Chain A
Amino acid sequence: MSKTTKKKTTKRKTSKKWARVDGRKPDELRPLHIESGVIPNADGSAYIEMGRNKIIVGVYGPREMHPKRLSKPNSGVLRCRYHMAPFSVDPRRSPAPSRRDQEISMVITDAIEPALFLERYPRSVIDVYAEIIEADGGTRCASINAAAVALADAGIPMKDLVSSCAAGKYEGKLVLDLGDHEDKKGESDVPVAYLPKIDQVTLLQMEGIMTQEETEKCIELAIEGCKQVYEAQKEALKKKYGMVEGAEEKEEEPDEEETVEEGKKETVEEAEEE
């Protein structure tokens, strides 16, 4: 599949230095913009633009689980739903969840769950809904980034924010944060989610053809990307809660805890005591 296109693209570039389609450096992220608290009805929410990806995420809960049979007696359940709008891709897609959507929903749930204290919410559910308004490659990573901010915005205690970014191989070079074109035409794609404070990878997928060494390098490159995303996520939370940009945090506290609304403060403090 990628073989024919590879030939085409290398032919096109007859001269000069190798450059990415959008002129980025190999280890450069696309423009990233995150905003939190964008859906008044949700307990927490966030909007992300990562390149031309436009994704809105709403968090509801912890709340009673419906249907009840899905609840767990000794733990809460995190339920993430990744869903693409019919107009988010070309050609239009059916609004019914595809097999791909279902799989991504599962891996996103797995990526975020390690950051939460679900054991604190028996019989409950935390619903995370990610709606892809426009897709431009790397939607699962962008969804995770927005979801982490939305969860923090909802005042849900977290071990850390979850930051996500893909790396991959395009025209023989390892590159960070693949755009739609690089994602589709490149040799491989490695989406990663990472919890910077506990140094753990919670999302890892890969598709393509790469040597073991390249794959390992890709994972490390993606983690570097995650660390940059992490800063943008913190910034978005600070902004919403009126903290001056660039102001240093006084204590070693995750942002979400500083920015919790009054009514939700209780749960956070409880979590801290543990």
Chain B
Amino acid sequence: MSNTIVSRLKRKKILDVLATGKRMDGRELLQYRDWDIKTNLLFKSEGSAEVRLGKTRVVVGVKVDVGHPFEDTPDAGVMMVNAEYTPVAHPTWEPGPPSEDAIELARVVDRGLRAAEIIDMEKLGLVSGEKVQMIFVDLYVLNYDGNLIDACSAGALAALTTAEAPIFKVSDDGKIEKTDKTEKLKLRANPIAVTVCKIGDSLIVDPTFDEEEVKDGRITITVDENGNLNAIQKRGPIGFTVDEIKKCINIASEKAAEIRAIALAGE
């Protein structure tokens, strides 16, 4: 990414400032921008959250519906995470099929939730091999200023935690009826993703767009409330030493606890 002349100049400036132990916006290297997470702001989706992290803004919608199970898991519900890079969010984003980055964003958030076994999918079966509950988590980026994975991960957890899922009734002839009653989704874990960026020799969290553009690489680590790791994703055309990886894991464990408290505050 740091190939255009402008971003090369930017990179130099950012590195110079990082060398003083500060960031361009005055933050510490391991300091997040201010979080603002609101939940249950949409009427028509079962769960929702809006996350503002600095100027980054995403909306997460959770919809619960009935659909077909996968062949190999006839009784298990289905959870799908999808990310949308909307063209409103950044001047360089265009309408069209999801970019590689959008796919990665969805898959990394998905991996964190799934690996933590956040929802017991076996409990979402309705009619074996025919009908199961489907949980759709849609990550909708409204303004992009870096660190989408962390923002979406926290948003997904907040939206799932506060979601009011309909209770379905299966009649004797196998018909499925949506009752008026709702209940909270039973979450078994609270995974949170923390992304640590490497720029030059510095490790930072919560990069802005500018920082992300000039970064060398990043490692995203998803940590649950017991301190267990659920997912890791390294990106970028560089290598990390084992020591650096361990440092990243430590940073993530510490930061995840802070973010989790904010994400669950709306419960």
- A220 lies within 8 A of chain B by Cβ: yes
- B237 lies within 8 A of chain A by Cβ: yes
Contacts A110-B236, A220-B242 known; A211 to B107 CB distance under 8 Å? no
CB of A212 within 8 A of CB of B230, answer no
Stretch of B14-22, B113-121, B145-153, B203-211 contacting A (4+ beta carbons < 8 Å): B113-121
Contacts of B227 in A (CB 8 A): 211-212
Q: Which residue of A lies closest to B98 (CB)?
A: A99
CB of B246 within 8 A of CB of A209, answer no
CB of B237 within 8 A of CB of A102, answer no
Least Cβ–Cβ distance between B154 and chain A, in angstroms: 19
Q: Which of B116, B219, B231, B232 lies at the interface centre, i.e. has the most chain A CB atoms within 10 A of its CB?
A: B232
Least Cβ–Cβ distance between B6 and chain A, in angstroms: 13
- B106 lies within 8 A of chain A by Cβ: yes
Give Cα distance in the complex from A113 to B104, angstroms: 18
CB of B228 within 8 A of CB of A199, answer no
- A234 lies within 8 A of chain B by Cβ: no
CB of B71 within 8 A of CB of A204, answer no
Contacts of A198 in B (CB 8 A): 239
Least Cβ–Cβ distance between B122 and chain A, in angstroms: 7
CB of A201 within 8 A of CB of B117, answer no
Q: Specify which of A73, A106, A204 is in contact with B104 (CB 8 Å cutoff).
A: A106
Contacts of A219 in B (CB 8 A): 242, 245
Contacts A91-B71, A102-B100, A188-B115 known; A209 to B237 CB distance under 8 Å? no
- What is the number of residues of chain A that contact chain B, defined by CB distance less than 8 Å? 42
Q: Please classify the interface of chain B as helix (H, G, I), strand (E, B), loop, or mixed, using the class held by over half of its residues.
A: mixed
- A11 lies within 8 A of chain B by Cβ: no
Q: Specify which of B3, B100, B103, B231 is in contact with A207 (CB 8 Å cutoff).
A: B231
Contacts of B156 in A (CB 8 A): none
Contacts of B3 in A (CB 8 A): 72-75
- A85 lies within 8 A of chain B by Cβ: no
- A4 lies within 8 A of chain B by Cβ: yes
Contacts of B241 in A (CB 8 A): 199-201
- B66 lies within 8 A of chain A by Cβ: no
- A210 lies within 8 A of chain B by Cβ: yes
Encoded as 1 (CB less than 8 Å from any A CB) or 0, chain B from 11 to 55 comes to: 000000000000000000000000000000000000000000000
Encoded as 1 (CB less than 8 Å from any B CB) or 0, chain A from 75 to 112 comes to: 10010000000000001000000011011001101100
CB of B249 within 8 A of CB of A212, answer yes
Contacts of B84 in A (CB 8 A): none
Least Cβ–Cβ distance between B87 and chain A, in angstroms: 19
Least Cβ–Cβ distance between A178 and chain B, in angstroms: 15
Contacts of A190 in B (CB 8 A): 232
- A148 lies within 8 A of chain B by Cβ: no
Q: Which of B238, B239, B250 lies at the interface centre, i.e. has the most chain A CB atoms within 10 A of its CB?
A: B239
Q: Pick 27 A–B contacts, CB within 8 A, sort by A.
A: A1-B76, A3-B117, A72-B3, A91-B71, A100-B107, A106-B100, A107-B234, A110-B235, A200-B238, A200-B239, A201-B241, A203-B234, A204-B219, A205-B233, A206-B229, A206-B231, A207-B231, A209-B115, A210-B228, A211-B227, A211-B228, A211-B229, A212-B250, A215-B232, A216-B245, A216-B246, A219-B245
Interface of A toward B, CB cutoff 8 Å = 1, 3-4, 72-75, 78, 91, 99-100, 102-103, 106-107, 109-110, 113-114, 188, 190, 195, 198-212, 215-216, 219-220, 223
Given contacts A1-B117, A100-B107, A199-B241, 6 further A-B contacts (CB under 8 A): A103-B107, A114-B239, A201-B234, A205-B232, A206-B230, A216-B249
Interface of B toward A, CB cutoff 8 Å = 3, 71, 76, 100, 103-104, 106-107, 111, 114-117, 121-122, 217, 219, 224, 227-242, 245-246, 249-250, 253
The 3 closest A-B pairs by CB, nearest first: A200-B239, A206-B232, A113-B237
